[in-house]
A and B are shown apart, each in its own frame.
Chain A
Amino acid sequence: GEDVEQSLFLSVREGDSSVINCTYTDSSSTYLYWYKQEPGAGLQLLTYIFSNMDMKQDQRLTVLLNKKDKHLSLRIADTQTGDSAIYFCARGGSYIPTFGRGTSLIVHP
């Protein structure tokens, strides 16, 4: 299977919470990341978590890490239409990340 896996699409209603999930296989990963890619733009680092943490919150974003299950999630509270983008999960032990395929988040009114 893939090293980093995530579902390809997620559709939510504006104002609801979005949860984007990711699983990975390499337990030696030191950092786990979430990137956002808006149409026509490059990858923008949204947030990251060290592997010795379980949770990180940054305004509307909450990252949860379950090391035992090698599962990472990104929760976006009060999702807005501007949050529509592709979200990439990535893991890294060095400075070169390994990415997933990206989850397209579609926010509808």
Chain B
Amino acid sequence: EPEVTQTPSHQVTQMGQEVILRCVPISNHLYFYWYRQILGQKVEFLVSFYNNEISEKSEIFDDQFSVERPDGSNFTLKIRSTKLEDSAMYFCASSPGLAGATVTEQYFGPGTRLTVT
């Protein structure tokens, strides 16, 4: 069964450093998402991406964050200058289409745990 994969599973970085979290969505999916979960908190939506541009973003997704689909398979989340409060689990998700779709069609990856020291 196709699945969303994410690398690395755990990333440790120093405050102020740039990090890139990588995701490989399911191959025929068209919509891509990033969520995060700070330890003990709820899962929060960050951004959705379609047709090579951001379609929706939350207030969390400020100028320090960017997303990119550099090739036909990868979807990346970049944090330019990490802060301690960026420490969280970051989940990537993908869905086959939006028209008539609901969130029931989102498929999640296993997450990358980012630790900022």
Same complex origin of A and B? yes
Interface residues of A (CB under 8 A from B): 2, 4, 30-31, 33, 40-45, 48, 88, 90, 92, 95-102
A97 to B108, CA, bound (A): 13
Q: Is the CB of B56 within 8 A of A43?
A: no
6 A-B pairs besides A33-B103, A42-B107, A96-B33 with CB distance below 8 A are A42-B4, A95-B95, A95-B101, A95-B102, A95-B106, A98-B45
Instruction: Report the interface size class on chain B.
Output: 20 to 34
Say how far A80's CB is from chain B's closest CB, in angstroms.
Answer: 21
For residue A98, give the distance in angstroms from its CB to the closest CB of chain B.
8
Contact A40 B102 (CB under 8 A): no
CB neighbours (8 Å) of B108 from chain A are: 42-44
| Chain B residues whose C-beta falls within 8 Å of the C-beta of A43 in the assembled complex | 43, 91, 93, 108
- Complex partner residue of B44 from A48, A92, A99, CB under 8 angstroms: A99
Partner of B104, one of A31, A40, A42: A31
Supposing A88-B43, A96-B56, A100-B42 touch, asked if A33 and B109 sit within 8 A by C-beta, the answer is: no
CA distance A46 to B104 in the complex (A): 9
Inter-chain contacts of A90 with B (CB < 8 A): 43, 103
Q: Are B104 and A45 in contact (CB under 8 A)?
A: yes
